[in-house]
Amino acid sequence: MSTNILGIETSCDETAAAVVRDGREVISNVIYTQIPTHTLYGGVVPEIASREHVLKINQVIKKAIEEAEMTWEDIDAIAVTYGPGLVGPLLIGVSTAKALAYAKDIPLVGVNHIEGHICANYLEDKKNGETGVPPESIEPPYMCLVASGGHSHIVRVDDYTDYTIIGRTHDDAAGEAFDKVARAIGLGYPGGPKVDKLAREGNPKAIEFPRASVGDSPYDFSFSGIKSAVLNYLNGAEMKGLEVNKADVAASFQQAVIDVLADHTVQAAVDYNMKTVALAGGVAANSLLRETMKERAEAKGLKFHCPELIYCTDNGAMIAAAGYHEYKAGRRADLYLNAIPNLKIGER
Ligand code: KG4
Ligand code: ZN
């Protein structure tokens, strides 16, 4: 008997729902992105995000069930992101999921958004896969870099619901640094994909930006120094009346961030005797990060895995995948489930 989970995600600026079978097979995946709305303001406006989620959530869920060619009878549990994220947006998803669970008498499972990003690695999209070939499957244990707009962590995944943070950022998240540098060179929001694209035309060795290590942990990160170094470089050039080659700035900045992300993650995997390294979170969509991690992991004899591009940024399928494992572990949320904006990995 297979288990179908409906996953609901509203923690930031994507209203998303998906149906996933047995934690791996994506049956439907509907994402309504609010990016065009927030682009007008240069970043996510929480109040506007909440309103957009209210407007779209019912349609998105209905479409996810329809595209799966299912009815509510076929859904074994509803999984919803309850943190971390923006409190208003989270509450829309949580309230909707609770109402549906109650009305349809279906079990409810609360999911940590970051754990959802990690579980995107298990997803196999038979209908819409990029390559049409099911990706090689991955199973715990492995070392995972989670890099998104709000988080940068190295996480040891010992089992499907067992996570330990090995490294973390002391200041900005990697995606945040991409977004801020993009704004500084006039690329707009969201910056990550735009820096990624422009960097392909630039020289990554043109400018030497710092590769920061912090304190006494070899696995921690700090990205505020490199962000400041880029801003100083741009200001310095402006004061001297020099023209800036934006592609070189993008390529050099990106290379500096990725060197640190890849080296710390591969080192953590080696030190903790892991045989596999994985990537997760919005920044995992970065083409250079994907290539670099693969090269450096394989150079150490490790296997490498990353989610398909569509499952790197926020989506409902990853929440359904994480929810499946919580459900199988017997964890259930009740109607008191609340949004927890600063929910930590591994917290229940
Ligand atoms: O995981 P996500 O969709 O939302 C959060 O949970 O934060 O990640 C969004 C972040 C943004 O900072 C965005 O700029 C970054 O992921 N991002 C990228 C790329 N695509 C998205 N960063 C670098 N290269 C990319 N191709
Ligand atoms: Zn995310």
DSSP assignment letter at 102: H
Strand bridging mode 142-147 / 276-280: parallel
> 36: which 2 tokens?
């065009």
Pocket of ligand 1 contains residue 177 by CB under 6 Å: no
User: Each residue of 312-334: pLDDT tens digit?
Assistant: 999 999 999 999 999 999 999 99
Separation CA 195–CA 301 (nearest Å)? 30
In this prediction, residues 176-199 reach a mean pLDDT of: 94
Can the peptide bond before residue 218 be classed as cis, meaning omega within 30 degrees of 0?
no
User: Each residue of 272-318: pLDDT tens digit?
Assistant: 999 999 999 999 999 999 999 999 999 999 999 999 999 999 999 99
Q: Which ligand has the shortest distance to the CA of 310?
A: 1
Pocket of ligand 1 contains residue 83 by CB under 6 Å: no
Q: How many residues does the chain have?
A: 348
In the prediction, which pLDDT does 291 show? Answer: 97
Nearest to 29 by CA among 309, 341, 282, 327: 309
State in Å: Cα 219 to ligand 2 middle.
21
DSSP assignment letter at 309: G
- Give the pLDDT band of residue 27 (cuts 50, 70, 90): very high
| Residues paired with 4 in a beta bridge | 21
Strand bridging mode 77-83 / 152-159: unpaired
Nearest to 82 by CA among 329, 322, 328, 330: 322
In the prediction, which pLDDT does 188 show? Answer: 86
Q: What secondary structure, in 3-state letters, does 46-83 show?
A: HHHHHHHHHHHHHHHHHHHHHHCCCCHHHCCEEEEEEE
Residue 126 reports pLDDT greater than 80: no
Q: Which ligand has the shortest distance to the CA of 282?
A: 1
Across the chain, which distance is largest between two alpha carbons, in Å? 69
Pocket of ligand 1 contains residue 196 by CB under 6 Å: yes
According to DSSP H, which parts of 133-242 are helical?
A: 174-184, 191-199, 224-239
Which amino acid is present at 334? D
In the prediction, which pLDDT does 79 show? Answer: 99
In the prediction, which pLDDT does 115 show? Answer: 98
Residue 134's alpha-carbon distances to 23, 36, 317, 320, 327, in angstroms, are 14, 32, 16, 18, 25
Between 44 and 126, the higher pLDDT residue: 44
Pocket of ligand 1 contains residue 285 by CB under 6 Å: yes
State in Å: Cα 243 to ligand 1 middle.
29
- Give the pLDDT band of residue 132 (cuts 50, 70, 90): low
In the prediction, which pLDDT does 215 show? Answer: 74
In the prediction, which pLDDT does 274 show? Answer: 98
Strand bridging mode 108-112 / 142-147: unpaired
Pocket of ligand 1 contains residue 115 by CB under 6 Å: no
Which helix (H) or strand (E) is 260 found in, with range?
A: helix 246-271
In the prediction, which pLDDT does 170 show? Answer: 94
User: Each residue of 30-83: pLDDT tens digit?
Assistant: 999 999 999 888 889 999 999 999 999 999 999 999 999 999 999 999 999 999
- Who contacts 65 (Cβ-Cβ below 8 Å, separation ≥6)? 6, 19, 28, 71, 72, 75
Q: Whose CA is nearest to atom 14 of ligand 1?
A: 192
User: Each residue of 219-240: pLDDT tens digit?
Assistant: 999 999 999 999 999 999 999 9
In this prediction, residues 163-171 reach a mean pLDDT of: 96
Q: Dihedrals φ, ψ of 89, to 5°?
A: -55, -45
Separation CA 20–CA 294 (nearest Å)? 27
Residue 129 reports pLDDT greater than 70: no
According to DSSP H, which parts of 14-149 are helical?
A: 35-39, 46-67, 87-104, 113-119
Residue 134 reports pLDDT greater than 90: no
